[in-house]
Structure 1
Amino acid sequence: MFGQCRNHFLTMSTTIEAARQVVTRLSAEERRSLVEWLAHEPMEVAPGIYRTPRVCGGDACIRGLRLPVWQLEEGRRGGATDNQLLQAHPALSPEDLANAWAYVASHRVEIDRLIQENNEV
């Protein structure tokens, strides 16, 4: 197990170093374009859960959907079952909900804050 983690780290370090070497050869305009692209690129923060700047305020959303995890959790706290949520959001899969609930469990403070902020608006 340790060997696998070490190999992954070494591969990642090598990849990052290779990227640095490429970036240093870019013009200032090319670097600006790269930074702009990276700033808008979705980032997977948990399995099936992404944050995308300027999409839903950068909140954690279900993969490829503009559906924040906190909204699903708010529905669940309001008494909605998984089946009801799946019917209300046809693009969702049971796996999406499992990913959302895992994210909620590990990011409870964030989710509570977002639900509270939304209810205050």
Structure 2
Amino acid sequence: MIDRITLDPAICHGKPCIRGLRYPVENVLEWLAGGMSIEDILLDYEDLEREDILAALSYAARQTHIKRLEPLAA
């Protein structure tokens, strides 16, 4: 499903997007975190597919696979 996530410097300043449709992954995650269901998103954004939303979640999960986080200096 990760092939549904595109990176293009000409689209949304190179942020990861859904199939180049100008829907950044971060927006999809914010909608879900804000309480929207997958069905709500699909009703509001008809050009998105269920697999796109699942790909965004999978992409985000893969981004958290890091060895450790370092706190920022104040």
Give the TM-score range, shorter chain: 0.7 to 0.9
C-alpha distance in 1 between matches for 2:64 and 2:8: 20
State how far apart, in whole Å, the 2-side matches of 1:106 and 1:86 are: 23
For residue 31 of structure 2, what is the aligned residue in structure 1?
A: 75
**TM-score, normalized by length of structure 2?**
0.78
Q: Is residue 5–residue 55 contact of structure 2 (8 Å, CA) maintained in 1?
A: yes
**Structure 1, unaligned stretches of length 5 or more?**
1-45, 110-121
Do the aligned residues in 1 keep the contact of 2:25 with 2:56 (CA within 8 Å)? yes
Identity %: 34
Structure having the higher helix fraction is 1
Per-residue CA deviation, residues 50-77 of structure 1 (Å, 9 max, x unaligned), is 0101310100000130100000000111
Higher relative contact order (CA 8 A, sep 6+): 2
Letter in 2 for 1:55: I
RMSD, aligned α-carbons: 1.5
- Rg (Cα) greater in structure: 1
Tell me the distance in 2 between the aligned counterparts of 1:108 and 1:89: 27
